[in-house]
Chains A and B, each alone.
Chain A
Amino acid sequence: MDAQEQIREQITQSPVVLYMKGSPAMPQCGFSSTAVQLLRACGVREFVSVNVLESPEIRQGIKDFSNWPTIPQLYVKGEFVGGCDIMREMYASGELQQLLGGLGPN
C-alpha cells in the first residue's frame, strides 16, 4: 500500500484525525501542541493522531495529499480543515467548535 492509499484510509478512521509531530501526550513541535490543545478546548476527547516523525513517507505524503506544506494538519470527516493557524482562527470565530461539536462522545 502506498502512502496516498494509507492516508486515504487513515483520514476516515475517525471523524477527527490529526497529523502531527509527536504524540498528543508528547508533541514535538509547538504548532502540533497548539493543535492538540485546540481540539481539547473544543471538547474533542477522542481523535486519531498520526505522528509524521515516525514515517518519512507519510510526512511527505500528507503534504502532497492536501497540497499543504506544513504539519500539523487536521481532517474532519475525511476532509482537510487546515493547520494550526486556521484552527486558531476558526476557534476564535467559533467555527471550530461548531465543526467539531457532536462528533466525539460527550
Chain B
Amino acid sequence: MSTPTAGVEEQLRERLAHLSPRRLEIIDESAKHAGHAGARNGGGHYRLLIVADAFSGLTPLARHRLVMEAVDDLMRGAVHALSIKPLAPEDV
C-alpha cells in the first residue's frame, strides 16, 4: 500500500475534527520504522499531539479511546502505528 503521506495526515485531521482540537500536531515517523518485522503491512507510523476540551476529566485510557475510535478505519490500512498524546487544555 502506498498512500501519500499528505493524504494520511489530512485524513487524520478530518477524523479528529469533531473533537474540536485547540491544537493538533501530526508528525510522520514512518521513515524511522521502515521495514521492521512488525510493520510488514506497510502502514505508516504517526505521532500526534492533540489538545481538546473533550479530554478534561478523562482517564488516559478514555482519552486514547476517543482518538482511536475517531481514526479506527485508518488504523486498518494507511496507519500502522499511532503514538498519541491527548491533553486537556489545563494540562498544557
Which chain A residues have a beta carbon within 8 Å of chain B's beta carbons? 21-22, 28-32, 53, 68-71, 80-86, 89-90, 95
Which chain B residues have a beta carbon within 8 Å of chain A's beta carbons? 33, 36-39, 60-61, 64-65, 68, 72, 75-76, 81-85
Given that A84-B83, A85-B84 are known contacts, is A53 also in contact with B64, CB under 8 Å in the complex?
no
B64 touches A86 (CB 8 A): yes
Using a Cβ cutoff of 8 Å, how many contacts connect chains A and B? Answer: 46
A21 to B33, CA, bound (A): 14
A14 to B28, CA, bound (A): 36
B39 nearest CB neighbor, chain A only: A29
B40 nearest CB neighbor, chain A only: A53
B64 touches A28 (CB 8 A): no
A29 touches B36 (CB 8 A): yes
A28 touches B33 (CB 8 A): no
A82 touches B68 (CB 8 A): no
